[in-house]
Amino acid sequence: MRIISILFSSIVNIKDNLLPVISLSHTHACARMHTRTMNSVRCSKSSNRTLSLVFLCLLSFLNEQHTVLTLAEAKSNVYIVYMGARQHDDPELLAETHHTMLTRVLGSIEASAEAMVYSYKHGFSGFAAKLTKAQAQAISELPTVLQVIPNLFHKLQTTRSWDYLQLSSCSTTNVLHKSKMGNGVIIGLIDTGIWPESQVFRDEGLGPIPSRWRGICESGELFNTRMTCNRKLIGARYFIKGLQAEYGQPYNSTEYQECLSPRDRLGHGTSTSSIACGSFVANVSYNGLGVGTVRGGAPLARLAMYKVCWNLYGGGVCTGADILKAFDEAIHDGVDVLSLSIAPDLPFPDLEIHNGISIGAYHAVAKGITVVCAAGNAGPSAQTIQNTSPWIITVAASTIDRSFPTPITLGNNWTTMGQAMFTGKDTGFINLVYPEVPELLSPRHCESLTPNDTWLAGNVALCFTSNSNQNAVEDAAWSVKDIGCSGLIIAINPSRSLHSCDDNFPCVQVSYEIGTQILYYIRSTRNPLVRIRPSKTHLGRPVSTNVAYFSSRGPSSISPAILKPDVAAPGVHILAAVSPHNPEIAYKFLSGTSMATPHVSGIVALLKSLHPDWSPAAIKSALVTTAWTTDPSGEPVFAEGEPMKLADPFDYGGGIVNSNRAADPGLVYDMGTADYIQYLCAMGNNNSAISQLTEHPTFCPIKQPSILDVNLPSITIPTLGNSTTLTRTVTNVGAVNSRYVAIIEPPRGITIAVKPNTLIFNSMIKTISFTVRVSSTQKVSTGYSFGSLTWTDGMHTVRSPISVRTEIVESYD
């Protein structure tokens, strides 16, 4: 599959719509007419006819001169014309090429020299020039031009997650630019639809839709494809027949405030799409917080939306039938990546062949489409991980190094710092109360506050949570707000998931320790007072990176020997586009593995652009084996929970996704259909069931294969007795002549031997298999312990996480 790629340097997409192109072909036509006319003057016997032709050409020529004059007088701005990597090493020749191109559009060498601002001729090819919108559009359509970008003003701050992942648009050396920002790659999202009018889905400067695209834009309620789809949003479909059949009656879109079309009324699909591949939009914030430029991970990738989730029972409901139909159409349409921020409900299907997402994903992967899915939001308990098939990239959610400090000052002038997204006015000092109860009764937690607590009116209330159920706390906040409460201070277990409240109602989050100190002040003061000031945005240290409290955890309950999640990505307080039910709010902070998933989908698009021949398994391997096990600055990653602990592979898989290293992993653990069949056989599926999935007769070996031999980029042994031996195969995708040596960090109480412990690749040897013997020195059954196996050539570190649990069978005499 040919992937067309475009790379451009930092800066944002064209902000305003360009004017219609003024074609240069008119000048050439007139010149041809002039040549023919002069020949007629010399040769024709009908001089009157000749003079008429000359007169018509003269009128045409004068009219064109008037047009050019009008263009010259139009307002000009600086635009950056990006032409990609240099085609040769002669900078002077490049500069001459740039001037020639500009001269072609502006009409003269003098105009070109006057308009030229910079010629980019060393790191890449392109130039900056003063152009009108029409001239910029004309240049953007020239075959050697990849992108035309306006020269907008920039600030040092951006929406943080991509800078945190070291994918700044200001860098010319990271994978964002090496992969040409994913141009030509098509990302399909199976979600709640899309709000196409959002600025993040503009198509200014993008080239034609890839010719291999076979999808459509489907019209429906409030969705006219002639007005909504463009060169960015190239496909939009909706599927509801499965829901209607299950529901037993036609879907009442009016009752549920929905649209029978690809339009997104819930906002979820709009958000995930903007994170995956949204275009650059400058000066975005949520009520002044997190100010910067919002964009997707692959801002030049194309987008196709498959709406399968509908507003029902107060949330998004998606049926397996509709999801599978979306997979079916997406495979036909020609997407390169599929992103699903969807997961099955608990309890999970017992086998992959009973799971619609897993089935659809299998067929997509078999066609070379990488499928990225959410890990789920059922954490922090173990074995809550979802979307566990080995052919899926499963994504956990982590925080980033951004916080929103909110000062709380008590009446005794003691000030502490809480966390909130409070953008209202300084409250000044007002009464502070706590819901006291008689000593023999259970304490009242935040979740128990109701509209009947009218005594809270005019006061700020302190409350303690009994758990970290975000919905329960936010419901309580709405309840007390409606009765006139002036604010809420929420004491909660340490977590970076804020309980934000709309309409500038202050919901400030503090730790139990700080909450206890505030409670002591209330109980020891006759007239306790508190002042809450607006939140501010803080970036960088000392804010740490954590695996989010809600993020589902491994090990997998379906297949414990398959490490899940695969990687983690930012999924807490991500500023993303939403369906603007309030016209003044087009972007909001959102949290969930739903937000983490499109981060990885965008990165996968960059890798697909850079390595179009890589299989989905190779891409997954590159992500897992190169991920950060610390945060990007080298600090440890913790997993939020009760208690908080250092993160391990069941929290974040290989680690925090590191796209720059994944672009050059050195070695990959590749897999194909035969490997997935081996997995299905090892899981005990019968031949008939597997044949239905693979669409051709399949027969498992008489001796059931070991699931430990599935060629994963990780090693997970859920039941180790004395010892076991497993096999892995690596493929060299780096330098042809390479030598890798093994570095082993064994889990506690475990010994590991690798044979061979040195791998030598050359032009004849690109793939090498090795064995790993894992032995336990434990005398009792244990929980999981963790380590790693790393192959290194001095430049690359190909790290596979290892998880082992010793299990000694008890005797029963």
Across the beta sheet with 126-131, the strand order is: 116-120, 126-131, 77-82, 147-150
How far is residue 745 from each of residues 67, 413, 803, measured CA to CA in Å? Answer: 72, 51, 11
**How many other C-beta atoms are found inside a 10 Å radius of the C-beta of residue 127?**
25
Half-sphere exposure in the Cβ direction for 617 (13 Å, CA): 23
- Please identify which residue in the block is written with the tokens 């590991």: 752
Interatomic CA distance for residues 743 and 296, integer angstroms: 36
Q: What type of residue is 297?
A: G
Interatomic CA distance for residues 165 and 296, integer angstroms: 13
How far is residue 170 from each of residues 275, 505, 573, 749, measured CA to CA in Å? Answer: 18, 36, 23, 47
Q: Out of 273, 389, 594, 601, which one is annotated catalytic?
A: 594
Interatomic CA distance for residues 35 and 41, integer angstroms: 10
Positions of E strands within 252-387: 281-286, 289-294, 302-307, 309-312, 315-318, 337-340, 370-374
Interatomic CA distance for residues 542 and 555, integer angstroms: 31
CA dihedral in degrees (740, 744, 745, 747; nearest 10)?
Answer: 140
63 Cβ partners below 8 Å, 6+ apart? none
- Specify whether the CB–CB gap between 95 and 118 falls below 8 A: no
Q: Is 594 a catalytic residue?
A: yes
- Specify whether the CB–CB gap between 660 and 166 falls below 8 A: yes
Q: Out of 163, 191, 336, 793, which one is annotated catalytic?
A: 191
Q: Is 47 a catalytic residue?
A: no
Q: Tell me, rounded to whole angstroms, the distance of Cα 207 from its chain centroid.
A: 23
Half-sphere exposure in the Cβ direction for 216 (13 Å, CA): 9
Interatomic CA distance for residues 77 and 548, integer angstroms: 44
Interatomic CA distance for residues 424 and 434, integer angstroms: 23
Task: Note the maximum CA span of the chain.
Answer: 122
Half-sphere exposure in the Cβ direction for 281 (13 Å, CA): 22
Nearest to 275 by CA among 297, 290, 293, 292: 297
Rounded to 10°, the helix 593-610/616-626 angle is 110
Nearest to 714 by CA among 346, 388, 349, 397: 388
| Positive or negative: CA dihedral 375, 378, 381, 383 | negative
Look up residue 722 and give its two tokens. Answer: 């004395």
Q: Is 793 a catalytic residue?
A: no
Could you tell me which residues are beta bridge partners of residue 488? 461, 507
How far is residue 8 from each of residues 47, 627, 720, measured CA to CA in Å? Answer: 56, 25, 51
Look up residue 741 and give its two tokens. Answer: 């040596």
Interatomic CA distance for residues 467 and 276, integer angstroms: 32
Interatomic CA distance for residues 168 and 759, integer angstroms: 35
**Exposed/middle/buried for 61, CB within 10 Å: 0-12, 13-18, 19+?**
middle
Q: Out of 98, 99, 177, 268, which one is annotated catalytic?
A: 268
Residues in the chain: 813
Q: 3-state DSSP call for residue 481?
A: helix
- Specify whether the CB–CB gap between 324 and 355 falls below 8 A: no
Interatomic CA distance for residues 691 and 693, integer angstroms: 5
DSSP string for 376-421: -S-TTSTT------TTSEEEEEE--SEE-EEEEEETTS-EEEEE--
Q: What would you report as the CA-atom Rg of the chain, rounded to the nearest whole angstrom?
A: 30
* Catalytic residue set: 191, 268, 594
